[in-house]
Amino acid sequence: MRLYAGAVTGRYTSSRDIQFPFSQQRSGIVSRYGIVDIVACYCVRTSAGTECTIVVNVMRASSRLLDPGLTVGASLHCSVRREISPCTCRVQEPHSNTILVACERMTSFTQVVDALREKFASDVEISLRIAYSRLDDFTNHTFQELGLAVTNLKLNHNNLSSLPESVFAGLGHTEYLSLADNSLLQVPYHVLRQMPALKTLDIGRSRLKTITDMDFQNMTDLQHLVLAGNNISELHHSSIPHTLRHLHLGRNNITHLNGTLRCLKELEWLFLNGNQLATLDEQLPQEGNKLALLHGGNNRLQKLPQELQNFNLLESLFFQHNELQNLGGTIQRARKLKRLHLHNNNIHELSPDEFTELDSLEDLQLGHNQLTSLNRSLTPLRSLRCLNLTNNLLQEFSFQEIQGLRRLRIIDLSYNKISHLSGRMENLVEPETRIVELRLDHNLLETLDGALMGVHGLQKLNLSNNLLEKISPDDLIGLEDLRILDVSFNRLTTLEETSKTFLPSLEQLYASHNALTALKQDFHGLPSLCWADLSHNKIQSVGRDLASKTRCRMHRMLGILRIYLTDFCKTTLMAREYGATEENVVEWNLGIRQLMRSLTTTFRLMAMKNKILIKRRKQKQQIRVNCRSQNVLDEVSNFTTVTADKEMEPYYQHLQTLRRS
């Protein structure tokens, strides 16, 4: 496709041929309306010749061209955007015949009518949005006066409390109506009768209290109904149309469904979340063979409805934030279920056959429950990718629980009471298994006992907030893909044992808030390390060869190894060079107070072949000391460009004095 933008300027009349200034000239007659201003032309070479689409600016024009070789896209209709001001318009999508028209913050409905009346051809589909406006004079006009083919109508944020029936004349072809974010006290059924073709209706976030049998009567084409975010407390027995495919009743005050959903045979999505439902027994569709999504979260349910056993097409099931104590075997045969969210309940146990036929389940959320054991219930979940068991009461975890789960990628066991890991993964997990992230933080682990040995593909391992006193070489063997290791908030006294394990891919190490006292050869097994947070420890000495075998690489490019030692106060650190070469740049980060004490010692390095660049970090309140192979005297002047504060001003002055001397 080739674009001829602005190829032609000028005016052409509707009864004349239009000549294009390129080799394959085409001519066509623009029908119905007068003045056309061509601004662009798109041409495609085909076996039959060259087909062109022209884009023109027209005050009033039809989308039809009498010559079938030439078509005018819907974009030409938006050339009236100046005429319809303060409303705006744009094309819904390329090659679409629908124009999106928006009128916001209008002072009256009269202003809307005056701006849009007969500005578009009658055969152009219009999606009209009137929002954040004052429509007190609604009764003075009708939508029919606009002369528009309105297929979508959105009247949002207009503080509407009632709708006059006469206003909505001329909307017989409207398929989508949104009255959300208003103050309606009841369903405007008299208005809906003016729209026999309506397929989607949104009356969310209003003040509806009751849905009656008359509200949606005779709406035989309605497929999508949104009533979320109201104050609905009562549903009459036959109030919901049987033709619905999607129904949203979430965030209301419904305590009982009154059997109103029993005959909804076509229902595919059902949202009941955020209500006061205590039971769903005998309330769901009797023939729910098409139901694919059911959201019953944030209610007061103590058990799952038995009807779930009949919903063979269920793909997503959400019952989080309820009072469930068990699953009662209700979902054993949901073979197509992919997402199951049951977090924030009171589930105490899972039976071994709880998920017997859930071959397709990919996401299982069981966090924030009272589970003390898994009872090998996960074994049938061959498609499982994400397992969340955070905030339970597990005291022990055996990797036998996930044996055979080859697609499992994420396991979250954080915030439990796990004190022991059993079953070495290298003996239980198939080579095809690639667990990417494992969270064991906030538990009671004192040792790993080599349980993680050989976890192929593991990239993120979180062991923070445990009781670990050491990590032996066997604990991390085989973790060639590990990139992030977090052992912060433990009781580690050394990382030297870790250095005996080769972790070729490790880039980030978090070991803050431990009891480390010395750093010697702790990084020797970490050749790719780029970030080490060792702050809030008791480090008294740093070995010369700490980072001698480490070469930070980011995206295969040499980078800077950043070591954070926020509370390290020994001046000997800055008095020696620790493997800072042109290929291995080490950046030490110290706390403000410690750097103040050692400032004089720091600048003795100016006699060495190192460059000291000090920067104040406002957010973390740290001073970055970056050691590089250059003469510091050339860079001292740059220090004055750093934003100063009163606390550091004496030291800045000291630096300037040192520079002048």
The model's pLDDT over 285-319, given as tens digits with 9 standing for 90+, comes to 987 689 999 999 999 999 999 999 989 999 999 99
Measure the CA–CA gap between 506 and 524, rounded to whole angstroms: 12
Q: Is residue 505 within 8 Å of residue 481, measured between CB atoms?
A: yes
Lowest-confidence range among 189-198, 374-383, 517-526, 611-620? 611-620
Residue 426, pLDDT score: 58
- CA separation, residue 174 to residues 66, 88, 130, 199, 445 (Å): 28, 20, 15, 8, 63
Q: Which of 78-82, 253-257, 338-342, 617-621 has the lowest mean pLDDT?
A: 617-621
Q: In this predicted structure, what is the pLDDT of residue 501?
A: 85
Residues of the chain with CATH 3.80.10.10: 301-393
497 by DSSP, 3-state: which?
helix
pLDDT value at 227 more than 80:
yes
Q: Predicted confidence band at 548 (pLDDT cuts at 50, 70, 90)?
A: confident
Q: How far apart are CA 36 and CA 11, in angstroms?
A: 6
Give the up-direction half-sphere exposure of residue 368: CA atoms within 13 A in the CB hemisphere. 11
Q: Is 397 exposed, middle or buried (0-12, 13-18, 19+ CB in 10 A)?
A: buried
Superfamily of 301-393 according to CATH: Ribonuclease Inhibitor (3.80.10.10)
CA 478 to chain centre: 33
Residues written for the chain: 661
pTM: 0.78
- Please answer whether residues 115 and 144 qualify as being in contact, where contact means their C-beta atoms are separated by less than 8 angstroms: no
Stretch 327-349: mean pLDDT: 95
**Residue-averaged pLDDT of the chain:** 79
Across 146-150, 243-247, 283-287, 623-627, least confident range: 623-627
pLDDT at position 611 over 70: no
What gap in Å lies between CA 53 and CA 18, rounded to an integer? 13
Both structure tokens of 568: 């390290």
Q: Which residues of 217-240 are buried (b: 16+ CB within 10 A; e: fewer)?
A: eebeebbbbbbbbbebbebeebbb
Which residue did the predictor score with more confidence, 587 or 477? 477
Query: Which tokens sit at 323?
Result: 């009072």
Structure-token match 């006699």, residue found: 607
CA nearest neighbour of 213 among 185, 182, 234, 231: 234
Q: Which two tokens stand for residue 112?
A: 């809307």
> Do residues 390 and 367 make contact, with C-beta atoms less than 8 angstroms apart?
yes
Instruction: Inform me whether the pLDDT recorded for 428 exceeds 70.
Output: no
Tell which residue, 292, 270, 274, has the closest CA to residue 283: 270
Half-sphere exposure (CA, 13 Å, Cβ side) for 15? 0
**3-class DSSP assignment, residue 588:** strand
**pLDDT (tens digit per residue) in 616-661:** 333 332 333 333 322 322 322 233 223 333 444 444 455 455 445 4
Task: Tell me the pLDDT tens digit for each residue of 476-509.
Answer: 888 999 999 999 999 999 988 877 888 999 999 9
**Mean pLDDT, rounded, for 569-580:** 40
State the pLDDT at residue 593. 44
DSSP 604-656: GGGGTT-EEEEEEETTTTEEEEEEESS-GGGTGGGGGGSPP-TTTHHHHHHHH
The mean-pLDDT minimum among 193-197, 286-290, 557-561, 611-615 falls in 611-615
Instruction: Please check whether residue 286 is in contact with residue 263, taking contact to mean a CB–CB distance below 8 angstroms.
Output: yes
List phi, psi (to 5°) of 475: -65, -30
Spell out the SS3 assignment of 328-370. CCCCCCCCCCCEEECCCCCCCCCCCCCCCCCCCCCEEECCCCC
- The answer to whether 54 and 70 are in contact (CB under 8 A) is yes
**Of 177-191, 206-220, 460-474, 629-643, minimum mean pLDDT range:** 629-643
Dist CA 221 CA 302 (whole Å): 36
- Find the range with the poorest average confidence among 254-268, 484-498, 547-561: 547-561
CB 525 within 8 A of CB 548: no
Which of 605, 600, 612 is closest to 637 using CA atoms?
A: 612
630, 610 in Cβ contact below 8 A?
Answer: yes
Distance from C-alpha of 406 to C-alpha of 446, rounded to nearest angstrom: 29
pLDDT tens-digit profile of 1-56?
Answer: 333 333 333 333 333 333 333 333 333 333 333 334 444 454 544 555 555 555 44
The gap from C-alpha 51 to its chain's centroid, in whole angstroms, comes to 42
Strand, helix or coil at 3?
A: strand
Q: Where is 657: in which H helix or E strand?
A: helix 649-660
CB 75, CB 84: distance < 8 Å: no
DSSP 99: E
For the stretch 514-529, pLDDT in tens is 999 988 888 888 999 9
The conformation of residue 448, written as its DSSP 8-state character, comes to -
Q: What is the pLDDT of residue 123?
A: 86
- Its CATH class, for the domain covering 81-207, is alpha beta
CB-count exposure of residue 554 (10 Å: 0-12, 13-18, 19+): exposed
Count of CB atoms situated within 10 Å of the CB of 404: 15
pLDDT confidence tier of residue 605, bands split at 50, 70 and 90: very low
Short-list 523, 478, 474, CA closest to 496? 523
Range picked from 308-322, 445-459, 467-481 for highest mean pLDDT: 308-322
Residue 591 above 60 pLDDT? no
What confidence category does residue 65 fall into, taking pLDDT thresholds of 50, 70 and 90?
Answer: very low
Rounded to an integer, the average pLDDT of 419-428 is 75
Cross-strand bridge partners of residue 248: 226, 271
Average of pLDDT values for 228-233? 97
pLDDT at 413: 98
